[in-house]
Amino acid sequence: MKFKQQPFLDAVERAMDTAIIEQTNDERLAESMRYSIHAGGKRIRPLLLAASYSLYQETIDSSVVQVAAAIELIHTYSLIHDDLPAMDNDDLRRGKPTNHKVFGEALAILAGDGLLTLAFQVLSQAPLDNERKVTCLKLLAQTAGTLGMVAGQAADIQAEGKQLPLEELQWIHARKTGELIRFAVLAGGIIGGASQEEQARLDLFARKLGLAFQIRDDLLDVLSTTEELGKTAHRDNDLQKSTYPQLLGIDEAKIELANQLREAHNILQLFAENGYQTQALAAIMDKFTL
């Protein structure tokens, strides 16, 4: 591992906290936003960004911290909104009562809106040259927005109660979960200085990783307890969602997860053969296994 995870994650957390405190004058709204930010979470997207950046650079720059904060702000907003009664209607997230259970629905919606908007402000203030900054801003809007994560969520909600063909499920997974992961990996490369060809390779790597992440999430929903997950287990079944284990069976879903991870590893190998330091990305990929 070329960068130390904990000091980096502490810096990302401080950047999110500072942004919320400085940019929010309603105390209860700030409390609601900080509640979800500090509820824990694996911080996979910030770690992926830093690991991808460290293919190219030895030390983590403050711009990486700012961009990582922006992704985690958006990810946290998506979880708050996903848990709302109008969406997945969940009571537990990251081992704690969901935002709307503590602060009420209206404030939870606004906390999500606030985190989403703040993410773009934080990214716009990152110490990057203008070209990279605009590229990252555009990529974040595309991946989080109505062709990306929001599109995946809209399709997911409308598919409840329906048995989907695997290609449609993949389409939803690629957007709902895959796009923010794609942003993390690609933005790390862009800030680090990846060539166009390398960005295309990172893109493919991230798509495989994103699908693996969601297959793993589907499997954990079936195989784990609520306590282990920190969110309600077997929720996909309750909501009659199509998932990999439901469409393929648990064993086939596990094989598909392994296939995606192997293909991602093969792409990473190409970077290693070209002399890039891939240890940090490989170490984070270990978190994608069951």
Near ligand GRG in 134-163, by CB under 6 A = 149-150, 153
Q: Measured at CB, which residue is nearest to ligand GRG?
A: 41
Among 13, 82, 90, 236, binds ligand GRG (CB under 6 A): 82
> Taking the complex as a whole, how short is the minimal distance between the CB of residue 285 and ligand GRG, in angstroms?
14
Cα separation of 156 and 151, whole Å? 8
Stretch of 39-47, 134-142, 182-190, 261-269 lying at the interface with ligand GRG (CB under 6 A): 39-47
Amino acid at position 185, single letter: V
Using CB under 6 A as the binding criterion, the count of chain residues that bind ligand GRG stands at 16
Regarding 38 and contact with ligand GRG (CB under 6 A), the answer is no
Among 12, 33, 37, 44, binds ligand GRG (CB under 6 A): 44
Among residues 72 and 198, whose Cβ is nearest to ligand GRG?
A: 72
Near ligand GRG in 205-224, by CB under 6 A = 214, 217
Near ligand GRG in 224-283, by CB under 6 A = none
CA-wise closest residue to 280 among 111, 48, 13, 87: 48
Query: Which structure tokens are listed for 172?
Result: 């939803």
Among residues 61 and 217, whose Cβ is nearest to ligand GRG?
A: 217
* Residue 159: strand, helix, or coil: coil
CA-wise closest residue to 176 among 204, 146, 200: 146
Alpha-helix residue ranges (DSSP H) falling in the chain: 5-23, 27-37, 44-53, 62-82, 99-103, 105-124, 130-144, 149-158, 166-173, 179-192, 196-223, 226-229, 235-238, 244-248, 250-273, 279-285
Cα separation of 156 and 243, whole Å? 10
Contacting positions for ligand GRG (CB under 6 A): 41-42, 44, 75, 78-79, 81-82, 94, 149-150, 153, 176-177, 214, 217
